[in-house]
Structure formats: structure tokens, C-alpha cells
Amino acid sequence: MANTPGAKKAVRKIARRTEVNKSRRSRVRTFLRTFEEAVTAGDVAKAKAAFVEAQSEVMRAVSKGVIHKNTGSRKVSRLAAQLKKLSAA
């Protein structure tokens, strides 16, 4: 357990930041799920709109430090590949 006042404050800060990051991560997953549902339904127009929103949300999470830059880029790249495959079909 934290003993010094500074350590106690750090514990409080970490707890607040964890809550915020959980919320942000959940929000990203929601947008990714929306895109996946549009792809599985085969709706190209809906998938394109969902892709733009998902890409924006993933990169926002990257800028906030919730996910690593390379992870965000990889996710967006895979989403784009799925969209391209759906559009070509």
C-alpha cells in the first residue's frame, strides 16, 4: 500500500486515468464492431461510412495514448483491406 502522500496521489491519478482509458477503449471497440457488422451484412455504403468513423476513433485513441501507434495503424490497415475486398466483390 502507498505510504507517502505523493504515492497516494499517484494511486488516485492512475485510478482516474484507468477509468478514462477503459471508456476510450470501449468506444473504439464499438466503432470496430459497427464496421464488422456492416462488412458481414455486405452493405458497402454502410461499411464505408463505418470505416471512416472507426479509422478516426482508432487514431484518436492513438493520439490519447490508449493504444500504441503501430497497433492503431495495423488495425486501420486491416479494416481498409476488408473494405477493399468487400468493394471488389
Report the CATH number at residue 17. 1.20.58.110
Q: Which residues contact 72 (CB under 8 A, 6 or more apart)?
A: 58, 59, 61, 62
Task: Provide the whole-model pTM.
Answer: 0.85
Q: What are the tens digits of pLDDT across the range 27-72?
A: 999 999 999 999 999 999 999 999 999 999 999 999 999 999 999 9
Task: Provide the 3-class DSSP secondary structure of residue 89.
Answer: coil
Domain span at residue 65? Answer: 5-88
Tally of domains within the chain: 1
